[in-house]
Amino acid sequence: MIEPIDVTGLGRDEALVLYREMLRIRRFEDRVYQLFLKGELPGTLHQYQGQEAVAVGACQALGPDDWITSTHRPHGHALAKGVTVRSAMAELYGKATGCCGGKGGSMHLGDPSVGMLPAIAIVAGGISVVSGLGLAYKLQATDQVALCFFGEGASNEGAFHEGLNFAAVQRLPIVYVCENNIYGASTPFHRTSLVPDVANRVAGYGMPAVIVDGMDVVAVRAAVAEARDRAQRGEGPTLIEAKTYRFAGHSRGDARGYRSRDEEAAWKEKDAIERLGLAITSAGLGSEADLADVLADVNAELEDAVEFARSSPDPDPADALTDAYATAIAIGAAL
């Protein structure tokens, strides 16, 4: 039984934007999985289905000049922050028109023009780097805020301790968004931590933390907006722990033998897209036909992106040797 989320105060346009943004990620991931199984995409995939409310809620609370860091599971973050479907899809295809020119791929999606670093696929790597984004904003006295996505597993890394403590003591304008999807690859969090909530760990840094329903896009957006305001007031970082669930396996070929189908079914009852859709129709913000129109738009956008990626040129092999350095080093002169 799916329960609608609370959309009190939400306007029609706003609600449909949130719905569209989440649905775009879901359909992107589903389509990408099919393409991957057909052998069209190289490498591996870490998919985001189920967690859409976190990426969309968080990015909808940011300004265009705010930057994000992401993880090995970045497709949702990238689309939510504004990386175009075309350039994201082309990057997954390894094409020259991809957002990183084929040098980043699935695990390093990003685009500086929309305020997203290439995703950092080392667990907790972004927690180290985001400090510098916050520090730059503080030193330059801009009102920008940096947002760092990471999973609950990252809270067991040393970088989590060093990064959060440093950001707290420097009062950096950072919002940490922990997506607690319960499993670090196959390992449940309760086997790696005696405290069930990552938020509990943060009191040790003198930093506020809040727990939010990560299957409720409006709740995530509100929590991030409040944390962002706090950061802009110079009061320092906040950690938001979003309780969520990835519907897919950790990566391609994960048979999910470490969790029960009952558990998966219970979480699918909380599907963020369906909960918002139901809320939109129940609250009279939109009709079933409106939602169907959004789906049709998103599907058309995706097919356009697939076609764009397929017909895009491969990178020039010579480009493999560029971009390691900003100032050219003749390869022969390098030891």
- Binding stretches for another protein (CB under 8 A): 67, 98-104, 108, 110-113, 117-118, 120, 122, 125, 127-137, 139-140, 146, 158-159, 162-163, 165-166, 169-170, 322-327, 329-330, 332-335
Please say which residue, 289 or 328, places its beta carbon nearer to another protein. 328
Q: How far is the CB of 75 from another protein (least distance, A)?
A: 16
Q: Which is nearer to another protein, 45 or 273 (CB)?
A: 45
Comparison of 39 and 332: residue with beta carbon closer to another protein: 332
Residue with Cβ nearer another protein (92 or 273): 92
Distance of closest approach, residue 165 Cβ to another protein, in angstroms? 6
- Nearer Cβ to another protein, position 288 or 323? 323
Residue number, 50 or 125, with CB nearest to another protein: 125
Closest CB 293 distance from another protein, rounded Å: 35
Q: How far is the CB of 205 from another protein (least distance, A)?
A: 11
Minimum distance from residue 123 beta carbon to another protein (Å): 10
Helix and strand numbers (H, E) in the chain are 10, 7
Q: Which residue number, 134 or 277, has a Cβ lying nearer to another protein?
A: 134
Q: For residues 99 and 84, give the distance between their C-alpha atoms in angstroms, rounded to a whole number.
A: 8
Q: Beta strands 146-151 and 67-69: pairing type?
A: parallel
Tokens 């329903």 belong to residue = 213
* CA dist., res. 256 & res. 51, Å (int): 17
Helix orientation angle between 217-232 and 52-60, rounded to the nearest 10 degrees: 40
- Secondary structure of residue 189 in the 3-state scheme: helix
87 contacts 26 by C-beta, under 8 angstroms? no
Distance CA 168, CA 66 (A): 19
Work out the angle at residue 10's Cα, subtended by the Cα atoms of residues 15 and 247, and round it to the nearest 5 degrees: 45
- The Cβ of residue 136 has, within 10 Å, a number of other Cβ atoms equal to 15
Integer-rounded Cα radius of gyration of the chain = 20
- Strand runs labelled E in the chain: 67-69, 146-151, 174-180, 183-184, 187-188, 209-213, 238-243
- Least gap, CB of 316 to another protein (angstroms): 12
Q: How far is CA 1 from the centre of its chain?
A: 27
Report the nearest approach of another protein to the CB of residue 252 (Å). Answer: 21
